[in-house]
Amino acid sequence: MTAWPASADELVDVQRALAGADPPLWQPDDHAVIGACFICSPRGKSGRGAAGDPLWAAATNSDATAVITAQAGAPYRAGLLALREGPALEAAVRALDHPPDALLVDGTGRDHPRRAGLALHLGSVLDLPTVGVTHRPLLADGPWPEDELGVRSPLALDGTVVGFWVRTRPSTRPLAVHAAWRTDPQTAVELVLSSLAGHRAPEPVRKARRAAREARAAAF
């Protein structure tokens, strides 16, 4: 896949096609480089945002960070986030001198009305294994795990496990970790846990988030 859809109807068709795709699952090794990408909008705006809003997107690998400024392709609509953010996130990752082996994305994967959220879609465009990392699920449901580092509990959608709640730090809210492009729920959890550095969010996500927010602050 080389282009992003230009309309909601086109995106829905692409999402359905991606949901039916069956790429080979990726198996990380001990030397896999885990990167991340993150995007932010202007502070203080109310509502769902609009097409044309400025966006700051950052991507990281083990030793580099790239930041780009772009414009939102659409207002925010649940299940259609790729229209708003997809091209900007792709541009940020492609701005890296070399891509990571896998990418953590602030978006869902199989936890989606058509089983193809932004993390999965972005992975297909970039041809990179991806994992979604969000504060809450979109549609999937499951009880929180016990309050101990590394403990997980399944997130299911229509009877299928699509991710896990994961305790990435004791005494804080768990993160929702999503299977996405070429990853299954177990591998997704392993990548997140291997990327922790004592904080709630995985370190690559923290690095990308910090870079995007610093670029936004510098713009004002």
Q: Which pLDDT tens digit goes with each residue over 184-215?
A: 999 999 999 999 999 999 999 999 999 999 99
- Out of 1.10.20.60, 3.90.180.10, 3.40.30.10, 3.30.2170.10, select the CATH number for domain 36-218: 3.30.2170.10
List Cα–Cα distances, 181 to 2, 24, 43, in angstroms: 15, 9, 31
> 103 Cβ partners below 8 Å, 6+ apart?
34, 35, 36, 37, 59, 93, 122, 123, 126, 128, 129, 130, 131
List, for residues 24-54, the tens digit of each pLDDT value: 999 999 899 999 999 999 986 666 789 999 9
List, for residues 143-154, the tens digit of each pLDDT value: 999 999 999 999
Residue 213 DSSP class: H
Q: What is the pTM of this model?
A: 0.96
What pLDDT was estimated at residue 135?
97
List Cα–Cα distances, 178 to 15, 46, 76, 162, 191, in angstroms: 16, 28, 20, 6, 11
> So where are the chain's domains?
36-218
What pLDDT was estimated at residue 117?
97
d(CA 101, CA 34): 6
What pLDDT was estimated at residue 3?
74
What pLDDT was estimated at residue 1?
54
